[in-house]
Structure 1
Amino acid sequence: MLLDELVVTADAVASTRSRLAKVDALAELLRRLEPDEIAPAIGFLVGKPRQGRVGVGWRSVGAAMGQPADAATVTVAELDAMLDRLAATSGAGSAGGRSHELRELTARATEREQGFIARVLLGEMRTGALEGVLTDAIARAADRPGPVVRRAATLSGDLGETARLALTATEAELEAVGLVVGRPVLPMLAATASSAAAALETTGEASVEYKLDGARIQAHRVGDDVRIFTRNLADVTHRLPEVVEVVRGLPVHDVILDGETLSLDEDGVPRPFQETMSRFGADAARATLLHPWFFDVLHVDGRDLLDEPLATRLAELERIAAAYRIPGEVTTDPEVAERVSREALAAGQEGVVVKAIGSTYAAGRRGSSWIKVKPVHTYDLVVLACEWGSGRRTGWLSNLHLGALDPTGEFGEPGGYVMVGKTFKGLTDALLKWQTEYFPQIEQRRTENTVWVEPTTVVEIAIDGVQASTRYPGGIALRFARVKRYRDDKRPEEADTIQTLRGLLRM
């Protein structure tokens, strides 16, 4: 298949909000793929090539993009083969070799194909073709039951291989895909609620557990062989020797554990999230140690527990890893749930997760069986600039640059504004339309992708907190920022200050 056919479909998916239309377009594409094109095509669509990272960045990609071709000739298989070669290139002269490979292929690519290749290489695919939509499309294209396809995808952790099986193998072979110790599965996800008591109304009797401000991990052990995976199923075993030793010391032979890891200070209080992530992402040994905490077990010594109720899984977890269990209580009492939530926050954690005690482990899915509760902070900030959108938002001003007031001039001019982050989350079509019409009226200057505006517009932003950052002059960056509403009733000098936001670092 020509790569252009994939690009056209990706653009069509990105331009519609209809899930049904996305599924139809993707299913039609999948039916036309050759067997050896299926897994690569899935990887390209979700921005996760099967080769993983191949050692190229913005500078390399930009330098490789020359004059585009007039006609589409590059195939899906050729792009996949080039990524194989890039991944295999290492050692002296590897940078030049990668550049040569990139130029060879992109010289034959049309303008839109070049843009697609760049997004694949840089992990910036925003087609809306998320795993859930693609899973439904795979089931539609292969005429297989949706639950069978979803289970195979979640238990294998490989959507591309699942698509290949669904489209080319028998239904029995697809159904045979099961849990394998050593092969990561997609983690179960949680919905959200405003309070622990509200969550308990949904779940009934539940385990109310601390939600740690750490990094999600999945630990697999077969004998003395231990593997640790991230929530995105990347193998980070070599980075976490202290976690490996903990898992290796448990009284089991085979096990799969779900949990979190985080760094603690000398008083046992969680260190800031970015310190955990800095240590978590380090290939070399670091002085900061990571402590594992586990909240679920999916397999123990030949026994799969995915379909067992949470009560059974917690009993097994207590038996094999009591010292490493995340704190929590089983209750039906809203007052108890709220007390555990307060205790978690007082301990420096994010909040709680309320889990129905009779629920099974729904790998890769977000449902009402697990509900997370975190305090939400809202602040009034000032819009400094707005970026032009892409995909479905092409032609609209979308991503906001946000600034906090600096009344004393600690980080710039007294009374000026200090940038603390960006967001496009929470913007409705009506707000996008309004922004696109309004911001050019107060424009100060613009670049190719950004319109800089007079700092006069106040917007209410919800955040989960802040983290230390060297990217912005105020030394902090917003965490999970999303737009609540514009504040026409507030003047920019009434915006929240950088000092107020920096105070969240101590919370």
Structure 2
Amino acid sequence: MLFSEVVETSAVVAATRSRLAKVAALAELVRRMTTSAVVSFLVGAPSQGRIGAGWRTVFDLAVPPAASPSLTVSDVDAALGAIASTSGKGSTARRTALLTDLFSRATEAEQDFLRRLLTGELRQGALEGVMLDAIARAADVPGEVVRRAFMLSGSLPETAVAAMTGEEALAAFRLEVGRPVRPMLASPAESLPDALAELGACVVEHKLDGARIQVHRSGDEVRIFTRTLREITGTVPELVALVRGLPCRSVVLDGETLALNDDGKPRPFQETMSRFGAQDVRELLLSPFFFDCLHVDGVDLLDEPLRVRLDALRAVAGSHVIPGVVAPTDDLAAEVLTESLDAGHEGVMVKALESVYAAGRRGRAWQKVKPVHTLDLVVLGVEWGSGRRKGLLSNLHLGARDPDGGPPIMVGKTFKGMTDELLAWQTRELMAIATEKSDWAVMVRPELVIEIELDGAQVSTRYPGGVALRFARVLRYRPDKDAGEADTIDTVRALLPRRAAVPDDTIG
């Protein structure tokens, strides 16, 4: 398959607002693909990951484009593999030479696609849901079967290859101890009473202000992953030792970890996250709290109801189970919420006891209750500060994710809630991913996720989504999330007063 076909399909998808049209275009290409790299390229995530060539290197290449398409998808995939494997003395020059050769064989449109692919500007992760629908359509198999296979494989290209083989190949995916599973996600609840009324028989648990982890143990071998399926085993030896000591032979647990003060209250989220990127063990210890058990001693529990998984969890994790109450009265559920907030946590999770473990789209079987509105948004740009903030990047441009795979949709700005330390860090980090610079502002690659506290949303003609944030304040950056996990424009619109409405054609 010619690489130009991927580039053309990407352009078609970017040019339409119709989810059905996006799915149709992607499905047509997936149906004809000869290598899984087609899927990798279309979702902006080549299988090689980072190839070792920086943003400046890629954009400084001045190579005359080819007159006509000749590159195949396999050619490009092989070239990226060769670049990624280049290391040692003189590797920078060799990578540049390989990139130059690749770009010399690419047309102008292909060069533009490659630049955006290699610098993370192809809406990385944002097309995941659309691509899953396209794979299901291309293979003529149920969407739920495809989503389950993706949950278990963690790989869109691998899922696509299996789907095109047949439904039996998708059904063959099983939970494999040591291979991370896509995490189940929660939806925001209007209130605790609303969540209790909607879900019926449920468990109400503390919602910790920590980092999501998934732990796998087989015998003495332990592996620990983040919510984005990145392995962090080597940086958290205290968690490895704890899991190795649990009363079982094999287990897969879902949970949170956080650093605690001497009084048992959580330390700042950034301190917990600092451990995940550490090269050396630090003195700051992490404490795990588990809320789900997906496998124990050879038995997979994904399809068992939560009440069964909780029994297994309590048997294996003991005192490390997250605090909560099963089937509480309304008054007792309210007490759990108060206890969680008093302990310095975010609120509570309310989960239906009959729910199975399902990843992918945020469902209603798990709901999160917080006393304030928060959103995870993408930083699109930032304006230079004035006065005391002169010389620092201050006023953030914030975007919500387009659930249909388009670029993030701007929903507001804020300069509130930032400490001097955060302003200095933000200036360094955002300048490193800048795409456009002026005396007024800096536009950046849409990849950093930031958690914003707000009082609600209002209808607005100022922004393309037809909605704007009210009194937005920065809480923290979320290095544990990528842009594909940011909240969608639909989530922002759900915060509008019930009488307010946003026309469907506001996204331009």
Letter in 1 for 2:157: G
| CA pair 350-481 structure 1, distance change in 2 beyond 3 A | closer
| CA pair 412-156 structure 1, distance change in 2 beyond 3 A | closer
Shift in Å, 1:51: 1.9
Letter in 2 for 1:134: M
From 367, 382, 401, give the equivalent of 2:363. 367
From 215, 220, 224, give the equivalent of 1:219. 215
Q: 2: CA distance between counterparts of 1:289 and 1:88? A: 35
Unaligned runs of 5+ in 1: 380-388, 390-397, 436-457, 489-494
Matched positions, count: 442
Q: How does 1:36-55 map to 2 (within 5 A)?
A: 37=35, 39-55=36-52
Pairing 1:421–2:396 present: yes
Q: How does 1:288-303 map to 2 (within 5 A)?
A: 288-303=284-299
Letter in 2 for 1:17: R
Pairing 1:194–2:166 present: no
From 81, 103, 109, give the equivalent of 2:100. 103
Letter in 1 for 2:91: S
Q: 1: CA distance between counterparts of 2:283 and 2:245? A: 22
Please say if residues 10 and 129 of structure 1, whose CA atoms lie closer than 8 Å, have aligned partners that are also in contact. Answer: no
Tell me which moved more, 214-223 or 65-74.
Answer: 65-74
Unaligned runs of 5+ in 2: 431-448, 462-468, 478-508
Pairing 1:132–2:129 present: yes
Alignment partner, residue 29 of structure 1: 29
Pairing 1:19–2:14 present: no
Give the match's secondary structure for 1:367.
coil
Q: 2: CA distance between counterparts of 1:217 and 1:497? A: 32
Q: 1: CA distance between counterparts of 2:374 and 2:247? A: 46
| CA pair 83-236 structure 1, distance change in 2 beyond 3 A | farther
Q: CA RMSD in A?
A: 3.7
Alignment partner, residue 491 of structure 1: none
Please say if residues 213 and 227 of structure 2, whose CA atoms lie closer than 8 Å, have aligned partners that are also in contact. Answer: yes
Alignment partner, residue 484 of structure 1: 457
Alignment partner, residue 146 of structure 1: 143
| CA pair 376-224 structure 1, distance change in 2 beyond 3 A | same
Alignment partner, residue 334 of structure 2: 338
From 92, 95, 106, give the equivalent of 2:89. 92
Tell me which moved more, 317-326 or 340-349.
Answer: 340-349
Please say if residues 459 and 487 of structure 1, whose CA atoms lie closer than 8 Å, have aligned partners that are also in contact. Answer: no
Q: Percent identity?
A: 50
Give the match's secondary structure for 1:250.
coil
Shift in Å, 1:301: 0.4
Give the match's secondary structure for 2:278.
coil
TM-score (norm 2): 0.77
- Superimposed CA distance per residue, residues 17-58 of structure 1 (whole angstroms, 9 cap, x where no aligned partner): 222111111110111211xx1x21111222222222222221
Q: How does 1:410-489 map to 2 (within 5 A)?
A: 410-412=388-390, 419-425=394-400, 469=422, 470-472=424-426, 479-480=451-452, 484-485=457-458
- Which structure has more RCO (C-alpha within 8 Å, separation ≥ 6)? 2
| CA pair 378-232 structure 1, distance change in 2 beyond 3 A | closer
Q: 2: CA distance between counterparts of 1:272 and 1:475? A: 20
- Superimposed CA distance per residue, residues 484-507 of structure 1 (whole angstroms, 9 cap, x where no aligned partner): 34899xxxxxx9999x97999xxx
- In terms of Rg, which structure is larger? 1
Please say if residues 14 and 126 of structure 1, whose CA atoms lie closer than 8 Å, have aligned partners that are also in contact. Answer: no
From 153, 171, 178, give the equivalent of 2:167. 171
Pairing 1:376–2:403 present: no
Shift in Å, 1:136: 1.6
Shift in Å, 1:200: 1.4
Give the match's secondary structure for 2:179.
coil
| CA pair 72-249 structure 1, distance change in 2 beyond 3 A | same
From 347, 368, 378, give the equivalent of 2:343. 347
| CA pair 478-185 structure 1, distance change in 2 beyond 3 A | closer
Alignment partner, residue 76 of structure 1: 73
- Superimposed CA distance per residue, residues 283-329 of structure 1 (whole angstroms, 9 cap, x where no aligned partner): 33223222222110100001111111111111111111122111112
Give the match's secondary structure for 1:298.
strand
Letter in 1 for 2:216: H
Alignment partner, residue 157 of structure 2: 160
- Superimposed CA distance per residue, residues 399-457 of structure 1 (whole angstroms, 9 cap, x where no aligned partner): 464799x8xx55459xxx972432022899xxx9xx9xxxxxxxxxxxxxxxxxxxxxx
Q: How does 1:272-283 map to 2 (within 5 A)?
A: 272-283=268-279
Alignment partner, residue 53 of structure 2: 56
TM-score (norm 1): 0.78
Give the match's secondary structure for 1:258.
strand
Shift in Å, 1:222: 0.6
Give the match's secondary structure for 2:290.
strand
